[in-house]
Structure 1
Amino acid sequence: MSQEHQVLNEKKYNKLIIALSVVIPVVVAVLFGVKIPNVEPLSFLPPIYASTNALTALILVLAFMAIQRKKVKLHRQLMTTAIVLSTLFLVMYVAYHMTSDSTKFGGEGFLKYFYYFILITHIILSIVVIPFVLITFVRGITNNIEKHKKIARITFPLWLYVAITGVVVYIMISPYYV
């Protein structure tokens, strides 16, 4: 595929990437504040979506290993799976918060500061990583491999951090769930 064709393929996705990068965090923020009345809280979801984050982290590492071994098809399948899992996480996370009150962290001292540091960086980077994931994915599917590799070097550690810290946040707050 020519360089010009790759650029045209990418450009057709750019508006969608920009829209999703703005719409997803805004919709999540709005829905986070919406409480569905008279609905049983979905209190079973936090361990499931934390497990989804753990599985995403594992799949990201496996996808990295696959591409290091030049197993492009496996890499592509694993990355698609990671995107699906991250989407499922987001749906479950929003559903839980629409039916349940937020849980307050009860730890004190250093542990409290550590928890909030992890939580805040997790939240900020979960927003930041959205366009990176989408751009990296588009560059992969449009076969713009050099640009894909370049941005993947940023996307991979960001996404892995978000997936792992999602699990850490869950583990740290789980004793305080009602």
Structure 2
Amino acid sequence: MKDKFIFRFVAAISILVFVLVVILSMKILPKPEVIPSVLYFLPKLNAILNGTCSVLLLASLYFIMNGNVAIHKRINILTFVLSAVFLLSYVGFHWLAPETRYGDLDGNGIISPAEAAAAGSLRYVYFFILITHIILAAVVLPLVLLSFYYGLQMQVEKHRKLVHWTYPIWLYVTVTGVIVYLLISPYYHF
């Protein structure tokens, strides 16, 4: 019965976060008159948080493979907290910031044929990474939440089975988050 409640809770949180991200990304909510200056540091902060989470996930794997459950658990909790900070920062940035388009050299919001040619085939690589990153970021949240629940409850067998899928997806999302930032950052015009 408790697992059923947790599963529903995780589903509700995951759907709520997804809907919130979509609504804020659509930029339909009113923005403050004065945009905080910290806004322009958020993409770099997001990349730092994602990169840190990538390293922590690798460290977590190392420690569990060497039987150190206590350190593994602490690292995962820290990674989870940093991922939550990332999510807040990401949502805030995409709510307040003007849209940035890959290849938009002059910042006018339109990709001219010359700009598309200048971006070249790397534009397709960027979109492939971005699309897979976004899809898997939406998928990984409920997996992470359930993995945490099973791990903290010491339901080791359920935790292991779920982490078999959660870990590589979470690692992919954190690594590609950094790559997306590195690829799009030359086109920020703020």
TM-score by length of 1: 0.91
Q: How far off its partner does 1:37 sit?
A: 3.5
* Alignment-mate amino acid for residue 137 of structure 2: S
Alpha-carbon distance between aligned partners in 2 of 1:163 and 1:35, rounded to the nearest angstrom: 30
Q: How far off its partner does 1:9 sit?
A: 4.3
Matched, 1:38 2:30: no
Q: How far off its partner does 1:67 sit?
A: 0.4
Aligned pair partner of 2:143 in 112, 132, 137: 132
Q: Provide the residue aligned with 2:65 in structure 1.
A: 68
Alpha-carbon distance between aligned partners in 1 of 2:67 and 2:5, rounded to the nearest angstrom: 28
Once the two structures are overlaid, the 10-residue window that deviates more, 92-101 or 66-75, is 92-101
Alpha-carbon distance between aligned partners in 2 of 1:102 and 1:81, rounded to the nearest angstrom: 31
Aligned pair partner of 1:12 in 5, 18, 27: 5
Alpha-carbon distance between aligned partners in 1 of 2:52 and 2:173, rounded to the nearest angstrom: 12
Q: Provide the residue aligned with 2:16 in structure 1.
A: 23
Aligned pair partner of 2:123 in 112, 117, 123: 112
Q: 1:123 aligns to what SS in structure 2?
A: helix
Structure 1 portions without partners, runs of 5+ = 1-7
* Alignment-mate amino acid for residue 125 of structure 2: F
CA RMSD of aligned residues (A): 1.3
Aligned pair partner of 1:165 in 176, 181, 185: 176
* Alignment-mate amino acid for residue 79 of structure 2: A
Q: How far off its partner does 1:40 sit?
A: 1.9
The aligned runs of 1:75-114 (5 Å cut-off) are: 75-106=72-103, 108-114=119-125
Once the two structures are overlaid, the 10-residue window that deviates more, 74-83 or 104-113, is 104-113
Contact 1:10 1:139 (C-alpha < 8 Å) held by counterparts: no
Alpha-carbon distance between aligned partners in 2 of 1:98 and 1:66, rounded to the nearest angstrom: 38
Structure 2 portions without partners, runs of 5+ = 104-117
Alpha-carbon distance between aligned partners in 1 of 2:34 and 2:2, rounded to the nearest angstrom: 44
Aligned pair partner of 2:56 in 59, 66, 70: 59
Decide whether aligned partners of structure 1 residues 40 and 171 sit closer, same or farther in structure 2, where only a CA change above 3 A counts.
same
Q: 1:102 aligns to what SS in structure 2?
A: coil
Relative contact order (C-alpha < 8 Å, sep 6+): which is higher? 1
1:118-148 CA deviation, whole Å, 9 max, x = no partner? Answer: 0000000000001111111111111110111
1:41-61 CA deviation, whole Å, 9 max, x = no partner? Answer: 511111011100000111011
Q: How far off its partner does 1:95 sit?
A: 1.0
TM-score by length of 2: 0.86
Give the count of matched residue pairs: 171
Contact 1:35 1:97 (C-alpha < 8 Å) held by counterparts: no
Q: How far off its partner does 1:38 sit?
A: 1.3
